[in-house]
Amino acid sequence: MILKVSYEEGAAGDWVAEPDVLSVFEFGRSPLESTDPRHVPVALTQLDEPSRVEVWRSHGPVKTGSWDGLRFAQGEWLTMGHIALDLEQCGTMRECSRLAYELLQSYLQQSPHPWPLKIWNHIPGINRGDGDEERYRQFCLGRAEAVSIDPGDGPPLPAATGIGTPLEEASLQVYFLAGALPGLDVENPRQVSAWRYPRRYGPRSPLFSRATILRMNGSSQFLLSGTASIVGHQTHHEHQVANQLRESLRNVDSLLGEGQRLMGGARAQLDHNGVLKVYIRNVKDFEAVRATLEASVPDEIPRIFVRGDICRENLLTEIDGIIGCR
């Protein structure tokens, strides 16, 4: 595997010093507290125990730096980059989002690793505001304004996760993985592509593909987008968290099948070569979600549970992950 992701006990500082470490994500901290480019605080609280950090490793040596406020760690083949914009200094959510995506694109243009492979968007108070004024919809508007490419037939951006952090969080955070070679974008036959969602979900569609396959040095890895209980473009199983998680897992399964159809070879498995991250809106649902996941996927795949709001008010949980292909 070209990207090794693991959940590790211990402090972020214990891991950032390793020579092959691209980044260490620390849960439950504000992104604005970051000092080392490889240390990325994330404003999502971990729900399970023990407390762990998410460590990304790839072929080194790793070069770190800052570019117009974007911090990055560049390995031989892969780059991790992150942006945290203070919403108060930035203006509206729409402006902030546009700025973040303009910065991301101008950084990638001059990078030896210009191909975005997966983007995580952490949006404070994501469901705040009514109708088209909702923060998530305004975020989508700003992103679409920054991404000049006409979607046409294909996704203009790779896999992504869009998740809500607490309303009190001061920053919009965008972090990403980019590579020296383009990934292969995969859509889900069970779902309408996000960039073709009907108007009722917002003035500009979300821009992301359902998964991106990272192919490099003979290995393939599935970078799954945040996957929720959406079939077609509609939310299924409103108010039923366990059924929402099962539907999300059917979407993951369908994506892995579609990936195999496109790539040939063996089907990607949820095994020790991958990791899953489960986002839960309401803390009270944690035990039900944990038990449902345990009954549905092999024990050997590492997982972490975090509290986060989902981009539609009627969605209670969402899952993403990085899955190894043989």
Taking CB under 6 A as the criterion, the residue among 97, 121, 171, 209 binding ligand 3EB is: 121
Examine residue 321 and tell whether it contacts ligand 3EB (CB under 6 A): no
Neighbouring-strand partners of residue 305: 278
What single-letter amino acid sits at 103? Answer: L
If the CB atoms of residues 12 and 174 are measured against ligand 3EB, the closer one turns out to be 174
* Positions 205 through 244 that interact with ligand 3EB (CB under 6 A): 206, 208, 225-226, 228, 230
Query: Least distance (Å) from ligand 3EB to the CB of residue 100?
Result: 12
Query: Least distance (Å) from ligand 3EB to the CB of residue 252?
Result: 12
Examine residue 311 and tell whether it contacts ligand 3EB (CB under 6 A): yes
- Could you list the beta-strand ranges (E) of 18-141: 21-27, 39-42, 45-46, 53-57, 63-67, 70-74, 78-86, 115-124
If the CB atoms of residues 25 and 208 are measured against ligand 3EB, the closer one turns out to be 208
- Report the relative pairing of strands 230-231 and 234-235 from DSSP bridges: antiparallel
What single-letter amino acid sits at 149? Answer: I
For residue 275, CA distances in Å to 19, 74, 193, 316 come to 22, 22, 24, 20
Query: Least distance (Å) from ligand 3EB to the CB of residue 139?
Result: 7
# residues near ligand 3EB by CB under 6 A: 12
Q: Are 81 and 116 in contact (CB under 8 A)?
A: no
Query: Least distance (Å) from ligand 3EB to the CB of residue 175?
Result: 12
Query: Least distance (Å) from ligand 3EB to the CB of residue 16?
Result: 27
* Positions 169 through 198 that interact with ligand 3EB (CB under 6 A): 194
Query: Least distance (Å) from ligand 3EB to the CB of residue 65?
Result: 26
Start-to-end Cα distance in the chain:
9
Q: Are 104 and 176 in contact (CB under 8 A)?
A: yes
If the CB atoms of residues 15 and 101 are measured against ligand 3EB, the closer one turns out to be 101
Q: Closest-CB residue for ligand 3EB?
A: 162
Q: Nearest 5°: CA angle at 215, between 212 and 221? A: 60
Residues 55, 46: Cα–Cα separation, whole Å: 15
- State the sign of the Cα–Cα–Cα–Cα dihedral 160, 137, 175, 26: negative
Provide the token pair at 296. 């549905």
Provide the token pair at 184. 């292969």
Query: Least distance (Å) from ligand 3EB to the CB of residue 226?
Result: 4
Examine residue 273 and tell whether it contacts ligand 3EB (CB under 6 A): no
Provide the token pair at 47. 């729900």
* Positions 125 through 164 that interact with ligand 3EB (CB under 6 A): 160-162
If the CB atoms of residues 162 and 274 are measured against ligand 3EB, the closer one turns out to be 162
Residues that bind ligand 3EB (CB under 6 A): 121, 160-162, 194, 206, 208, 225-226, 228, 230, 311
